[in-house]
């Protein structure tokens, strides 16, 4: 596996693995199968795993804890805090006290002593970023965390945070249908020497060509509530996926591989973290690192999917309000 270095500190595979889907986010999941899959992914050579305490309200971390017993030293583990998912809705919390308690709870669920990369999942707009990062910096001093990251952070708060403690990575949504960070966040990451991990790099499965319509989604699939999958938008977005299919066929690769190869071509400081419950898809995603795109192919892709082309917001309205932009 080829590698990349985030923020000059953490060396990981060019294509990591996002664990969210193992906790029922996109339909039913099976713990035994998920544990076996995680261990198989490690055998295949993937060393970068991304989780969060919000995924399944702790379930995802507990699952990883079981899967990584005996092989902890083979992986770089990232997890996040800051989103408390409750029946009345999601609460964003970035108080210093919560940062400490959330980290300790994650360590217990994961069954480990130190988190390699700890992200603030969403910025708490009611708590100065300096206070949250200051508390996270204490976690580093305590040996509970090795490196710090921020997810879905604005340029202003990223600059403020970096003055308090080194930030190794920013994690935000980046794909051919979510290119907003190319305009502001990515340039500042490069200015400050911060790496970037791209979640949902396959457009939540949409760019793989496997979503033919809303009827293809499980009834409990969270994408049912996402604007881009809404009846008024999905038709136009399917046209985008169809164009990618044509280009992928001419390249001799899958749509997923083409979408990941585009992200990888955007810079050596970017690491996509696609998620899947299928071993064959993991292998397919890994092979995207071997695909080289020419300047003409990159231009063609970006003409198909210019910034802002996708119909609908990335999240439902309530979730969009929690994003720090």
What tens digit of pLDDT does each residue of 271-286 get?
999 999 999 999 999 9
- Reported as a pLDDT band with limits 50, 70 and 90, residue 87 is confident
Which of 17, 26, 55, 315 is catalytic? The answer is: 55
Q: Is-contact 274 258, C-beta < 8 A? A: no
pLDDT tier, 25 (very low <50, low <70, confident <90, very high otherwise): confident
- How many Cα atoms occupy the beta-carbon half-sphere of 93 within 13 Å? 19
**Has residue 216 got a pLDDT over 90?**
no
Cα angle, residue 136 at apex, residues 59 and 270 outer, rounded to 5° = 75
111-135 residues labelled b (16+ CB within 10 A) or e (exposed) = ebebbbbbbbbbbbeebebeebbeb
The Cα 157–Cα 6 span in angstroms is 19
> pTM of the full predicted structure?
0.95
pLDDT at site 55: 95
* Tokens of residue 261, six digits: 């190869």
- What percent of the chain is modeled with pLDDT above 90? 90
Average pLDDT over residues 250-268: 97
Verify whether residue 55 is a known catalytic residue.
yes
Mean pLDDT, residues 74-85? 95
Instruction: Kindly list the structural domains of the chain, giving each domain's residue range(s) and its CATH number in brackets, ordered by start.
Output: 3-321 (3.20.20.100)
Please state which of the ranges 25-39, 56-70, 172-186 shows the lowest mean pLDDT.
Answer: 25-39
In the structure, what pLDDT confidence band is assigned to residue 28 with cuts at 50, 70 and 90? confident
Residue pair 197/266 in contact (Cβ under 8 Å)? The answer is no
Spatial distance between the Cα atoms of 21 and 34, rounded to a whole number of angstroms: 10
Q: What is the mean pLDDT of the chain?
A: 95
What phi, psi does 92 have (nearest 5°)? -95, 125
Residue range 103-114: average pLDDT? 98
pLDDT at 162: 98
pLDDT classification of 86: cutoffs 50, 70, 90: confident
CA distance 94 to 99: 6
Q: Is 212 a residue whose pLDDT tops 90? A: no
pLDDT of residue 205: 92
Using a pLDDT cut of 70, give the percent of the chain over it: 100
């Amino acid at each position: 596996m080829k590698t990349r270095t985030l923020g000059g500190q953490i060396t990981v595979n060019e294509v990591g693995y996002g664990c969210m889907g193992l906790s029922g986010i996109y339909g039913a999941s099976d713990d035994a199968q998920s544990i076996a899959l995680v261990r198989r992914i490690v055998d295949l050579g993937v060393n970068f795993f991304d989780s969060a305490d919000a995924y399944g309200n702790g379930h995802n971390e507990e699952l990883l804890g079981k899967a990584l017993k005996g092989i902890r030293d083979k992986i770089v583990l990232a997890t996040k805090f800051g989103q408390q998912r409750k029946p009345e809705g999601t609460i964003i919390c970035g108080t210093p006290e919560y940062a400490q308690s959330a980290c300790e709870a994650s360590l217990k669920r994961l069954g480990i002593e130190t988190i390699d990369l700890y992200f603030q999942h969403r910025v708490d707009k009611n708590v100065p970023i300096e206070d949250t990062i200051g508390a996270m910096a204490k976690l580093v001093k305590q040996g509970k965390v090795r490196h710090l990251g921020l997810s879905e952070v604005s340029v202003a708060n990223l600059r403020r945070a970096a003055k308090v403690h080194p930030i190794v990575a920013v994690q935000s949504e980046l794909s051919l249908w979510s290119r907003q960070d190319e305009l502001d966040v990515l340039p500042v990451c490069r200015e400050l020497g911060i790496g970037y991990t791209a979640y949902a790099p396959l457009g939540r499965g949409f760019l793989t060509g496997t979503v033919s319509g809303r009827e293809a989604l499980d009834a409990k699939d969270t994408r049912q509530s996402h604007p881009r999958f809404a009846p008024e938008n999905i038709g136009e977005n399917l046209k985008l996926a169809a164009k990618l299919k044509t280009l992928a066929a001419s390249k001799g690769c899958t749509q997923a591989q083409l979408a990941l190869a585009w992200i990888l071509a955007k810079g050596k400081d970017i690491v996509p973290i696609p998620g899947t419950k299928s071993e064959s898809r993991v292998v397919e995603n890994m092979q995207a690192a071997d695909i080289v795109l020419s300047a003409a192919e990159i231009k063609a892709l970006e003409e198909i999917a210019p910034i802002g082309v996708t119909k609908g917001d990335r999240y439902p309205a309530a979730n969009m309000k929690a994003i720090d932009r």
